[in-house]
Amino acid sequence: MNQIKALIYCRVSSERQKNEGHGLDSQEHRCRSLAEANGWLVERVFLDTFTGGGDFLQRPAMRELLAYVDGKPHQQYVVIFDDLKRFARDTIFHWNLRSAFKARNVIPKCLNYNFDDSPEGVFVETIFAAQNQLEREQNRRQVIQKQKARLENGYWAFYPPPGYVTKKDAIHGKLLTPTDRAPIIKEAFEGYASNRFKDQVDVLKFLRDEDFGNGRTLYLEVVRRIFERVIYAGYIEYPEWDVLRRMGHHEAIITLDIYNKVRAKLDGNSRSFIRKDNNLDFPLRGPVLCNVCEKPLTASWTTKKNKNYRSAYYRCNYSGCRIKNKSIRKDVIEDRFSELLKRAKPKMEVLDYAEALFLQCWENKMKDFSNMTEKKKVEIEKVIEEKEVLIRKIVTVSDVVAKEFEKKIEYLANKESQLEAEMIGLGSNSSSFGTALGEVLEYIGNPHDKWENGAPNDKRLVMKLVFTDRIRYDIENGFETAKFSLPMKAFELLAASESQGVEMAGLNPRPKFFQNDIY
């Protein structure tokens, strides 16, 4: 008589179960003991880590087991399970799996249940399967209720987002804490809000330069996912479970004002392509156009025959251009650009006047901030008053109306917190304005020095400050058509910066030298 062959199927729902006596090893041991007691030969073991009920074909090891049986159609197997819950935790799919086994002539065996195909046995098995499904769904509901309660109390209840890690806190229990990647996220938000990063592609370049992905390739959707999370502003929300925005207990990485600016900008135009070969050896590749076809110049290194000598060239690579592939030596075009920037240095009196203009604008803006702060205070008082009225009434109304009052009170409490945060944010940048103004004036005061000695981001900022648009290069005449726009570009940059928009209205007329004799 041939010995009966057995297959063992083991499943756990989490890594924690592996370490608490309900792991794969302990299940396999018990199943092997049953096979040994019955004289069955264990031919193979299938191990799954899968949570929840649903289609058994979603479990990788179960798919593998059925495929293994299909590959040996003339062999009858016994499949051993540690517990009926490992078989299935959904009534419909329990019977679907039973049917799949029956079609393959597989005999299911379980340590704590005897399968019986009699009418009574089918009835009892259905009850057990339904009970397992009920238990699974109740467990899921309990987990969701606990997680929702944590969210409603201002705590994040899931895996921490990038830039945070969950740590034990003596008062709050598990609490999000910023990691060493938090400053990178802060710079990404602030750079995008201030237009230092023109679009999400620029942010992606920055994150890649900072190795934000720890060696993994980052894509544009990563940028958007980060920018859409209000958790970085210190708030908690989860619309899927009707958890409205509220102040969290964790430390914020950015201000709510910065977050709102970023969200407002997200719907704007964005590029869909990013160069993988953004080589720092060629800083003029991209910003400089061919004077003939007005397409961006490209650049590359070339190697001579002896392979010991390399040279670098810029060129137009656009099909149809009459100077296509005509090489421009790297040192020639970059020396010409350097000379161009030397001529772009404005006179000191222009810089002094520009600084005075900005300071005057900022003083006016601070007065506006003060008025806006007072308005916010009035709004907060109205919200508090409305909330207190509802709290007094809630004990006198029916249960149905009371539930609606509770939702309204929760909404008002969140609104109060948001208004308070906005009021704090109105003056949060006042101390940094002088520093920001000094940095911008430093760029426009000596763009040549910033270009020669600055980092890649410094060079990109020089291009944005000095010129109205990308500049054209003529092989014979160089950058003769380049148009400077230093003062206006500086105004534009500061107007969109974190200084909260310095307005130009109401300023005194510019002096004569500002109109005709800037450089």
- Which tokens is 167 given? 């740590």
Residue 169 CB neighbour total at 10 angstroms: 14
Q: How far is CA 480 from the centre of its chain?
A: 43
In the block, which residue shows the tokens 């079609």? 103
* Cβ atoms of residues 84 and 53 within 8 Å: no
Domain 5-143: CATH superfamily is: Resolvase, N-terminal catalytic domain (3.40.50.1390)
Whether 514 contacts 353, CB under 8 Å: yes
Domain 174-265 has CATH 2.60.40.10: no
Tell me if residue 129 falls in helix, strand or coil. Answer: helix
- CATH 3.90.1750.20: which residues of the chain? 174-265
How many angstroms from the chain centroid is the CA of residue 356?
40
**Per-residue confidence of the chain (519 residues) as pLDDT tens digits?**
578 999 999 888 765 555 554 578 888 899 999 999 999 999 999 988 766 555 567 788 888 999 999 999 889 999 999 888 888 778 888 888 889 999 999 999 998 888 888 998 889 888 888 888 888 788 888 888 889 999 999 999 998 999 999 999 888 889 999 999 999 999 999 999 988 888 888 899 899 988 898 888 888 889 999 999 999 999 999 988 888 889 999 999 999 989 998 988 887 644 444 454 455 778 888 888 998 898 889 988 887 666 666 788 999 988 889 888 888 999 999 999 988 888 777 767 767 777 777 777 777 777 777 788 888 888 888 888 888 888 888 878 787 888 788 888 878 877 887 777 777 666 555 556 666 677 777 777 788 888 888 777 778 777 777 776 778 898 888 886 666 655 544 544 444 443 444 444 344 444 443 334 444
Q: Is the pTM of this model over 0.85?
A: no
Domain span(s) for CATH 3.40.50.1390 in the chain: 5-143
What three-state secondary structure class fits 8? strand
Kind and range of the H or E run holding 374:
helix 348-393
